[in-house]
Chain A
Amino acid sequence: KAGVTQTPRYLIKTRGQQVTLSCSPISGHRSVSWYQQTPGQGLQFLFEYFSETQRNKGNFPGRFSGRQFSNSRSEMNVSTLELGDSALYLCASASGGQNSPLHFGNGTRLTVT
Chain B
Amino acid sequence: QKEVEQNSGPLSVPEGAIASLNCTYSDRGSQSFFWYRQYSGKSPELIMSIYSNGDKEDGRFTAQLNKASQYVSLLIRDSQPSDSATYLCAVNSPASGGSYIPTFGRGTSLIVHP
Contacts and interface: CB of A to CB of B under 8 A. Distances in A.
Interface of A: 35, 41-43, 45, 48, 50, 55-56, 90, 96, 98-99, 101-107
Interface of B: 31-32, 34, 36, 42-46, 49, 51, 88, 90, 92, 95-97, 99-107
A50 B51 contact: no
13 contacts: A42-B88, A42-B105, A42-B107, A45-B101, A55-B97, A56-B99, A90-B43, A90-B44, A98-B92, A99-B49, A102-B90, A102-B102, A104-B44
A21 to B, nearest CB: 14
A6 to B, nearest CB: 9
Contact of B46 (A45, A48, A103, A107): A103
B43 A105 contact: yes
Contacts of B49: 99, 101
Nearest to B97: A55
Contacts of A96: 99
B4 to A, nearest CB: 9
